[in-house]
Homo-oligomer: A and B are copies of this chain.
Amino acid sequence: MNKQRKPTKATVVLEKLQDDILTGKLAPEEKLPIEVLKKKYGLSGSPLREALSRLVVNGLVKEEQQCGFCVAPLSLDEFYDIYDIRARIESMALEMAIANGDDAWEADILASWHKFSKYIDPRLNKNVDPKKWDELQKEFLFSLVKACGSPWLLKIRAMLFEQTARYRAVCISAKVHDEKGTIGLLKMDEKLVAAVLARDAQNACQISEEAYRMSVAHTAEELKKRMPEGIKHTESHNERREEKRRKRS
């Protein structure tokens, strides 16, 4: 009998904040003044600070002592870093899952692959919702490694996944309309599923890493196009301060 405990306001607002950051409603480098957030989310300072503190640890929020919180910045450097590490971790988990997985694991892969592939296939579905695309893909990728047997590896993986979501969000809509690219992705993932179910770890990892490489290249293109805006925002922020100082002197 699992006792259902009422979630605290802190955890509720944590999820809301996380979602707002991941979807870009709160922009990178944006300042997060408590006074504003209090009104926006309709609660007091304590649970807010609690939520923000948690987000600091997993890297979505940055804190400067005595100067409050802000959304963690985005950078190309970090983007390449996270994707690189994420691909390696994913391979590691994949290898372990292939060694450990049982029948239920295989069944789960087939099920989530079915749902994901049918949904995003432009030949079957013309109206894909980027949000749902992301959700289904997440479930599919998770099903592959779920059976790796290591809670900590899954925890680390989840953390990296969350981080990359922020970068993906920048250009997710672009992907939806790239019919040719989508079909390529489908074919590649299909090969991946086949390799995993055949318990061919080496091949599976190779395909997985290849998929990551393509994804990185694609996303980086979009990022370079759009990041200037994101960065300009913070730069202008800094420059405004600089300018003010210059004017006065």
Contact = CB atoms under 8 A, between A and B. Distances in A.
A36 interface: no
A89 B100 CA distance: 19
A234 interface: no
A85 B156 contact: yes
B152 A81 contact: yes
Interface size range of chain A in the complex: 35 or more
Interface in A43-62: 46, 49-51, 53-54, 56-59
A225 interface: no
Nearest to A47: B49
Please report whether the interface of chain A is mostly helix, strand, loop or mixed according to DSSP: helix
B66 A8 contact: yes
Contacts of A85: 150, 152-153, 156
A6 interface: yes
A235 to B, nearest CB: 16
A92 B149 CA distance: 19
A42 interface: no
Count of chain copies: 2
A6 B50 contact: no
Nearest to A148: B85
A144 interface: no
A26 interface: no
A11 B54 contact: no
Contacts of A78: 151-152
Contact of A54 (B6, B53, B65, B153): B53
A246 interface: no
A82 interface: yes
Contacts of A160: 152
A100 B149 CA distance: 31
15 contacts: A5-B64, A5-B65, A5-B66, A6-B66, A7-B65, A10-B53, A46-B49, A49-B50, A54-B54, A54-B56, A54-B57, A78-B152, A81-B150, A81-B153, A88-B92
Given A54-B54, A57-B58, 16 more contacts: A6-B66, A8-B65, A8-B66, A46-B46, A46-B49, A49-B50, A51-B53, A53-B54, A54-B56, A59-B155, A78-B152, A81-B150, A81-B153, A99-B244, A100-B244, A152-B160
